[in-house]
Amino acid sequence: MFDTLARQPDDPLLALIGLFRMDERPGKADLGVGVYRDETGRTPIFRAVKAAEKRLLETQDTKAYVGPEGDLVFLDHLWTLVGGDVVERSHVAGVQTPGGSGALRLAADLIKRMGGARIWLGLPSWPNHAPIFKAAGLEIATYEFFDIPSQSVLFDNVVQTFEGARAGDAVLLHASCHNPTGGVLSQPQWLEIAALAAERGLLPLVDLAYQGFGRGLDPDVAGLRHLLTVVPEALVAVSCSKSFGLYRERTGAIFAPTTSPVAADVVRSNLAGLARTSYSMPPDHGAAVVCTILSDPALARDWAEELEGMRQRMTGIRRALAEGLRTRWQSLGAIADQEGMFSMLPLTQAEVLRLRTEHGIYMPGSGRINIAGLKTTEVADVVGKFMSL
């Protein structure tokens, strides 16, 4: 019976991990999968994570199931970090998920169940957005969000899309640190988007995977928080992979700000039911770590400080890269003002392949680079290799 299956292509982004590992050249650089690395090339475990893990090891007294909704205290702390107090707490439904991808999938399943089967996706976007929505049975409608040659957000397209969308349509938004472009929406643009979404009866699905990697913990959710004061309902998919460095622990949550405690309970029950039929219950460890950190002011302070150090390192790399690359591509000076881990270079697939084979520089065929994969000492060398194309 398995012979009815066709071989599927490997995920091209994740395949880069293996290819990079196998490359034995000393000057190789991994600008592929979105994982933060420090100046020594390591993906560090946050000091606060280590401390929380030690504490858990000593105090945790059971491994019994956490239930389909996960840990309610974790959810409460995480929502405070994300939404602050802009939405009445009893109006917010929350369910712990296996990473941000799990949150996006539950959101998509919920949208499908609501009958609002269409979602608008600005391109380019994270390469797994469309496959997740498609797997949930949603119709995907796309528009151009970002122009790579000029490195600019095509805000007029966002406005036109929102104006032309049908009431009940979902719209995917990146809260900050746009993956893959680093393109930034200004606060006035968020105000316009929020007003349009409310006026047109659209359901925003906001992907928040890099809080603290852009302008800072609060600035990175300022647009989202404004949106939540204007639209009656939304979905917010949160990943703790990058912000807490918990990639492999699969830690995240889906939140749904609603209009009443009763509505929140209905949404929560649907999300929990969808989780139950998919993976039953979320993994515990990462969420227990985040919960331990956020419920201890000293640990939370230490975590935020370390995160801020990472952010500043990425900002420095951005400036150095922009400075070098603008001498050949003037528009790439914009990389300095973009935010998060990623930017898109105006490269052809053939050029991306040449960088890999001739220079050991690994990046996806789209031309996306992971800024956080570079050490300061490597920037000049990598820029030189880009220039040699």
Nearest distance, CB of residue 97 and ligand LMR, angstroms = 14
Residue 282 to residues 187, 241, 316, Cα–Cα distance (Å): 35, 15, 37
Q: Is 362 in the site for ligand LMR (CB under 6 A)?
A: no
Q: Smaller CB distance to ligand LMR: residue 34 or 83?
A: 34
Residue from 126, 146, 210, 386 in contact with ligand LMR (CB under 6 A): 126
State yes or no: is 385 an active-site residue. Answer: no
Say if CB 326 and CB 333 are below 8 A apart: yes
Helix (H) or strand (E) holding 254: strand 252-257
Q: How many residues bind ligand LMR (CB under 6 A)?
A: 6
Interacting positions 272-291 with ligand LMR (CB under 6 A) = none
State yes or no: is 207 an active-site residue. Answer: yes
Interacting positions 166-225 with ligand LMR (CB under 6 A) = 179
Residue from 33, 75, 177, 294 in contact with ligand LMR (CB under 6 A): 33
State yes or no: is 126 an active-site residue. Answer: yes
State yes or no: is 11 an active-site residue. Answer: no
Name the H helices within the chain: 12-22, 47-59, 72-83, 99-114, 129-135, 155-164, 187-200, 222-230, 261-278, 285-294, 297-325, 349-359, 379-387
Q: Smaller CB distance to ligand LMR: residue 132 or 256?
A: 132
Nearest distance, CB of residue 371 and ligand LMR, angstroms = 12
Q: Smaller CB distance to ligand LMR: residue 68 or 252?
A: 252
Q: Is 13 in the site for ligand LMR (CB under 6 A)?
A: yes
The DSSP code for 202 is -
Q: Is 355 in the site for ligand LMR (CB under 6 A)?
A: no
Q: Smaller CB distance to ligand LMR: residue 35 or 300?
A: 35
Q: Smaller CB distance to ligand LMR: residue 239 or 270?
A: 239
d(CA 167, CA 226): 21
Say if CB 241 and CB 209 are below 8 A apart: yes
Residue 321 to residues 4, 142, 245, 370, 379, Cα–Cα distance (Å): 49, 30, 24, 12, 6
Residues belonging to the active site: 126, 207, 209, 242
Q: Which residues bind ligand LMR (CB under 6 A)?
A: 13, 33-34, 126, 128, 179
